[in-house]
Structure formats: structure tokens, C-alpha cells
Amino acid sequence: MKQFTSFLQETDGNNEFKGVFENVVKEMFTKESMYTPMKNLREAYPGWLEKNWESLSDEDLEKYNEQ
């Protein structure tokens, strides 16, 4: 992650790279690409929480239940 952050800082003034990077990010986070993983997460989350609730701190458990 450190290398990636450094790379982004080095290319900060490069508008061509910025445009390409923005397009890649937009493509990665379209509804079509995110729907299935998010649906799977939504379906699996209650079971995971029930299975792991005893190992969670009270603070984490409260946050996770609010989600």
C-alpha cells in the first residue's frame, strides 16, 4: 500500500494517468461488478455474526449490530 501511495503521489501532475486511473476505478465499482459480492456479503453476514459474537468485544459487537 505504501508503494501504491507513493506511485500515486509521483503521478499526481500527470492528467493522462489521472484520467485512465479514474476510468479504471469507475469500471471496478459499477453496480454490475459490485452487486453479487455485496449480495453474498449481506446474506452471509447474519450467520457470521451469530457464529462469532462471543469472540467480539462489546464495542465491536455494538458496531456490527448497527450495521
Q: What are the pLDDT digits (tens) for 12-62? A: 777 787 788 888 888 888 988 899 999 999 999 999 989 998 999 999 988
C-alpha closest to that of 41 among 61, 64, 57, 25: 64
Q: Contact 28/35 with Cβ under 8 angstroms?
A: no
Sign of CA dihedral 13, 15, 21, 25: positive
C-alpha closest to that of 49 among 62, 30, 39: 62
Is the full-model pTM beyond 0.85?
no
Q: What is the DSSP string of 22-43?
A: HHHHHHHTSHHHHHHHHHHHHH
Q: What does the DSSP 8-state code read for residue 54? A: G
